[in-house]
Amino acid sequence: FCSMPDKANLCSNQSSVNPSAVPYKRSSNISSLETLQLDGYFSFDHIDYAAKDFGNRYHFLPLAVLHPKSVSDISNTIKHIFKMGSTSKLTVAARGHSHSLQGQAQAHQGIVINMESLQGPEMQIHTGELPYVDASGGDLWINILHETLKYGLAPKSWTDYLHLTVGGTLSNAGISGQAFKHGPQINNIYQLEVVTGKGEVVTCTEKQNAELFYGVLGGLGQFGIITRARISLEPAPKMVKWIRVLYDEFSKFSSDQERLISSKDSFDYIEGLVIINRTGLLNNWRSSFNPKDPLQASRFISEGKTLYCLEIAKYFSPDESDIMNQKTESLLSELSYISSTLFLSEVSYVEFLDRVHLSEINLRSKGLWEIPHPWMNLLIPRTKIIEFAQEVFGNILTGNSNGPILIYPVNKSKYSHTRNKTINFPSIFEYYIIKLIFPSHCRWNNRTSLITPDEETFYQVAFLSSAMPSSTGRDGLFHILAQNQRILDFCSKAGLGAKQYMPHYSTQEEWQAHFGLQWEVFVKRKSTYDPMAILAPGQRIFRRKY
Ligand code: FAD
C-alpha cells in the first residue's frame, strides 16, 4: 500500500521519482512491452500529459502510454504483465478524460491506457421498447448525447459536465440532478465488456458474471477496464424550462427539495447551490435567467446573508409548452422560496445538459481552468443535513467560498420518507417489501461497489473549489485544503455517517472504514479479478503484488 503525504505531491510538475534512478528495470520493461503485437502502439516519450489531471495536484510520470486501437491491445498488455508475475512491478491505469482530482487515472512508472483512442465497433443505438446504446468505455458522454439524439433518444442519468468518459464516470457513479428519478449512471447500465486484471475479456450483466458487473460499477477501476457499456436510453426531450429560486433559510430550502424528489409527478432535474460569496451575487447565480417579476426582483436585497438556490428543470416539447407551464406553476406554488427571486429560462436540451462546458470555455480563456482543484464531494444522511448545514455554512464557511457548492438530496428507492407530512409514504416495512418484490423500484442498487450512507435519502454535497496558484491567502490551496479537513473532522466527530463520493484516502485503514461492511466483498472481488493488484494504482487502495 502506497501512502503519499499531500504536501509532498502538491503542485509538482515532476514525477516524484527520477526515472533514471532505475535504468535497468525501466529499459527491460520497455523492451518487453515492445515485443507485443498490437493494433495500436506504445509511447515512451513526451508522456508528461499522462501525469496530469483536473485536480492539478498530483503528478506521477508513467513509463509508457498505450494508445489501444482494439480491446485485444488492452487485453494482451494486461495478460503480458500478469504473466510476468513477480518479475515486473508494472501497474496499469485506464485514463478516460483525466478529470480525476488526485491522480486516480495515473500510474507511477506504470502504463497509462489512453481510453479515448480505443476504436471498438462504432457506437450502436438500438431503438424499440427498451432502447439502449452500445458505447466504448472511452467515449465521451457529450458524443453519446449527440449520437443518440439522431434517433430522438438520450441517456436518462447524467453528470453536470459531459466531457467525461463512460468508463471514468461508471467507475465512480455519475450523479446529477436526474439521479433522484433514475438513480446514478451506474444504475442505468444493462451490460458491460470488461478486461480484468488477468487480461481476460468478459461480458457481464446483472445475470451473467454478475459479481464482476456490480463490482466494476462504482468500483474505482479496481476490478477491470470497461471497454464497452450498454446504456439505457429514453425518448429525448427537445426543450428545458430551467428555474432558479432563492431561500434564506436552509430548513425551508431542504424541506422543499425533499418534497420535490419524493413527489410522483415532479421536475425532471433537481439540484441546489449554496451562495456564500455575497459580492456579485445578483450577477452570478441568475446570469442568463429572466426574473418572473423584474420590478420585485430588482428590489430583492440579499443583506449579505448566505442564500440557498434551488435549481430545477422541467423537460418539454414545444407543442406542449402550455401543459408544462401549468404543471410547473402548480409545483412552484407549493414551495416556500422568497417570492421575488423566481428566475426562469428556456433552453434546448443540449444547451441545458452541456451547460458547464460554457463555463469551461470562459475559465479557459482567463487561464483559470488548469489550476489546482481541491474538490471534495460528500454524501450526507438526510437526518443529519441540518446539523451539517448549521456547522459548515454557518460556521466553517462564513467568508467567501472558492467555487460553487452544490447540495441536493436523492432517494435510494422510488418510495421513500420525507419530512413533509403532506405526502403519503409507505412505512419502512412496506419499503423493504417493495424492495424485495420490485427490485426495479430501487434506483441505487446496493450490489454495486458504490458506498452511500445507510439512510434511504441522502444529500450529495460538492465543494467545487479552485485554488489560485501561488496564493497563500483564503483562495490558496493550503487554506482550502485546511477548510476541507475541518469539514471532514466535523463530520467524523459529530458521527454524521457521511461518506466521501469519489473518495480519497492515504491509509488502508481509512479505506476499510469507508467501505465498512462492504470492505470484505471489495477485497474478495479484488483477489478474484485483479489478484496482482495491477489496475488503477492511482486510487491507492491496494499495493501491487510481486
Ligand atoms: P478519469 O479521471 O480518466 O478516470 C477516473 C478513474 O476511473 C481512474 O481511476 C481511472 O483509472 C478509472 N477509469 C477510467 N476509465 C476507465 C475505464 N474505461 N474502465 C475502468 N476504469 C476506468 N461526477 C459526478 O458524478 N457528477 C457530476 O456532476 C460531475 N461533474 C463533474 C464536473 C467536472 C467539471 C469535473 C472535472 C468532474 C465532474 N465529475 C462529476 C467527476 C467525474 O465524474 C469523475 O472525475 C470521472 O472519473 C471523470 O471521468 P474521466 O473520464 O475524466 O475519468
Q: Coil, strand, or helix at residue 252?
A: helix
Average pLDDT of the residues in 404-426? 66
CA pair distance 196, 213, nearest whole angstrom = 11
Q: Which atom of ligand 1 is nearest to the CA of 221?
A: 21
- Spatial contact of 338 and 248, defined as CB atoms under 8 Å apart: yes
pLDDT band at 12 (very low <50, low <70, confident <90, very high): very low
Q: What is the pLDDT of residue 31?
A: 87
φ, ψ (nearest 5 deg) of residue 160: -65, -20
Please, are residues 342 and 243 in contact by the beta-carbon 8 Å criterion?
yes
How many Å apart are CA 167 and CA 147, to the nearest integer? Answer: 18
Non-local (6+) Cβ contacts of 380 within 8 A are 388, 453, 458, 459, 461, 491, 496, 498
Inter-helix orientation angle 71-84/23-34, to 10°: 140
Q: Is the predicted pLDDT of residue 9 greater than 60, yes or no?
A: no
- Contact indicator for 54, 98 with CB cutoff of 8 Å: yes
pLDDT of residue 290: 83
Residue 394 has pLDDT above 80, yes or no: yes
Residue 424 pLDDT exceeds 60: no
Strands 41-43 and 64-67: antiparallel
Residue 10, Cβ density class (10 Å: 0-12 exposed, 13-18 middle, ≥19 buried): middle
Does residue 14 carry a pLDDT above 50?
no
Give the residue whose CA is nearest to atom 21 of ligand 1: 221
Segment 438-464, tens digit of pLDDT? 555 567 888 999 999 999 999 999 999
Q: Which CATH architecture has domain 6-115+526-539?
A: 2-Layer Sandwich (3.30)
Report which protein residue has its CA nearest ligand 1's atom 49: 168
Strand-strand pairing, 269-275 and 307-316: antiparallel
Q: How far apart are CA 385 and CA 535, in angstroms?
A: 36
ipTM for the whole complex: 0.99
The residue among 292 and 100 whose pLDDT is bigger is 100
Q: How would CATH label the architecture of 239-501? A: 3-Layer(aba) Sandwich (3.40)
Atom of ligand 1 nearest to the CA of 95: 3
**How does residue 417 score in pLDDT terms, banded at 50, 70 and 90?**
very low
Return the percentage of the chain with pLDDT > 70, whole number.
88
Per-residue confidence (pLDDT) for residue 421, from 0 to 100: 41
Residue 516: per-residue pLDDT = 97
Q: Please identify, by atom number, the ligand 1 atom nearest to the C-alpha of residue 137.
A: 18
Q: 507-536 pLDDT, tens per residue?
A: 999 999 999 999 999 999 999 999 999 999
Any atom of ligand 1 within 6 Å of the Cβ of 172: yes
* Cell numbers at 70, concatenated: 482494439
Lowest mean pLDDT: which of 15-19, 166-170, 175-179, 514-518? 15-19
Ligand 1 near 226 CB (within 6 A) = yes
Report the nearest atom of ligand 1 relative to the CA of 538.
9
* Mean pLDDT over each residue of the chain, to the nearest integer: 89
- Structure letter (DSSP) for residue 442: B
Is the CB–ligand 1 distance for residue 99 below 6 Å?
yes
Q: In what order do the strands lie in the sheet with 405-411?
A: 290-291, 343-348, 239-247, 307-316, 269-275, 405-411, 457-463, 376-381, 499-501
Average pLDDT over residues 400-411: 91
Q: Is the CB of 170 under 6 A from ligand 1?
A: no
**Do the beta carbons of residue 228 and residue 136 sit within 8 Å?**
yes
The pLDDT tens digits for 343-388 are 999 999 999 999 999 999 999 999 999 999 999 999 999 999 999 9
Residue range 43-80, pLDDT digits in tens: 999 999 999 999 999 999 999 999 999 999 999 999 99
Residues contacting residue 173 through CB under 8 Å, at least 6 positions apart:
184, 185, 186, 218, 448, 450, 501
Residue 305 has pLDDT above 70, yes or no: yes
- Ligand 1 pocket check for 115: Cβ under 6 Å: yes
Predicted confidence band of residue 25 (pLDDT cuts 50, 70, 90): low
Domain ranges in the chain? 6-115+526-539, 124-235, 239-501
Answer whether residue 428 shows pLDDT above 80. no
124-235 under CATH 3.40.50.10190, yes or no? no
Instruction: Tell me the residue type at 495.
Output: G
Ligand 1 centroid to residue 98 C-alpha, Å: 7
Confidence of residue 116 (pLDDT cuts 50, 70, 90): very high
Residue 101 alpha carbon to ligand 1 centre in Å: 9
- For residue 197 and ligand 1, the question of a CB distance below 6 A is answered with no
Whether residue 117 has pLDDT greater than 50: yes
pLDDT in tens, 126-151: 999 999 999 999 999 999 999 999 99
31: Cβ contacts below 8 Å, ≥ 6 apart: none
Residue with cell 481509512: 510
Which pLDDT does position 121 carry in this prediction? 84
Instruction: Calculate how far, in angstroms, residue 322's C-alpha sits from the geometric centre of ligand 1.
Output: 38
List Cα–Cα distances, 131 to 141, 143, 210, 471, in angstroms. Answer: 17, 17, 21, 50
Q: With contact defined as beta carbons under 8 Å apart, do 431 and 416 qualify? A: yes
Query: How many Å apart are CA 158 and CA 184, to the nearest integer?
Result: 8
**Is residue 277 pLDDT above 70, yes or no?**
no
pLDDT score of 360:
93
Q: Which of 159, 270, 466 to mutate to test the pocket of ligand 1 (most atoms within 8 A of CB)?
A: 159
Measure 220 CA to ligand 1 centroid, in angstroms.
9
H or E stretch including 231? strand 224-235
State the closest ligand 1 atom to the C-alpha of 53, by its place in the atom list counted from 1: 2
Assign 88 a pLDDT band (cuts: 50, 70, 90).
Answer: confident
Q: Is residue 230 within 8 Å of residue 133, measured between CB atoms?
A: yes
pLDDT over 90, % of the chain: 77
Higher-pLDDT residue of 17, 448: 448
User: Ligand 1 centroid vs 58 CA: distance in angstroms?
Assistant: 15
Residue nearest to atom 42 of ligand 1 (CA): 169
Instruction: Return d(Cα 291, Cα 8) in angstroms, integer.
Output: 49
Q: Could you tell me the distance, in angstroms and rounded to a whole number, from the CA of residue 122 to the centre of ligand 1?
A: 22
Atom of ligand 1 nearest to the CA of 101: 45
The CB-based long-range contact list for 27-33 (8 Å cut-off, 24+ gap) reads: 29/63, 29/88, 29/90, 30/63, 30/64, 32/80, 32/84, 32/88, 33/64, 33/77, 33/80, 33/111
Q: Is the CB of 504 under 6 A from ligand 1?
A: no
Read out DSSP for 111-175? EEEEGGG---SPPEEE-SSS-EEEEETT-BHHHHHHHHHTTTEEES---S---SBHHHHHTT---
Backbone angles phi, psi at 537, to 5 degrees: -65, -25
pLDDT band at 23; cut points 50, 70, 90? low
- The closest alpha carbon to 98, from 82, 79, 114, belongs to 114
Ligand 1 proximity of 529 Cβ (cutoff 6 Å): no
- The pLDDT, as a whole number, for residue 399 is 73
CA separation for the pair 501, 104 (Å, rounded):
13
Q: Are 136 and 124 in contact (CB under 8 A)?
A: no
Q: Is 538 in the pocket of ligand 1 (CB under 6 A)?
A: yes
Average pLDDT over residues 163-171: 98
- Which residues are identified as catalytic? 99, 160, 271
Look at residue 381 in the predicted model and tell me its pLDDT: 98
pLDDT, tens digit, 9 for 90 and up, residues 231-245: 999 999 999 999 999
Distance CA 24, CA 320 (A): 69
Q: Confidence class of residue 414 from pLDDT cuts 50, 70 and 90? A: low
Between residues 127 and 305, which one has the greater pLDDT? 127
Cβ 173 under 6 angstroms from ligand 1: yes
Q: What is the pLDDT, as a whole number, of residue 297?
A: 78
Residue 356 Cα: closest atom of ligand 1: 34
How far does residue 184's CA lie from ligand 1's centre (Å)?
Answer: 13
Residue 167 and residue 172: Cα distance in Å, rounded? 9
Q: What is the mean pLDDT of residues 273-296?
A: 72
Which has more pLDDT, 281 or 269? Answer: 269
- Model confidence pLDDT, tens digit, residues 452-510: 999 999 999 999 999 999 899 989 999 999 999 999 999 999 999 999 999 999 899 99
Query: Residue 194: is its pLDDT beyond 80?
Result: yes
- Ligand 1 close to Cβ of residue 79 (< 6 A): no
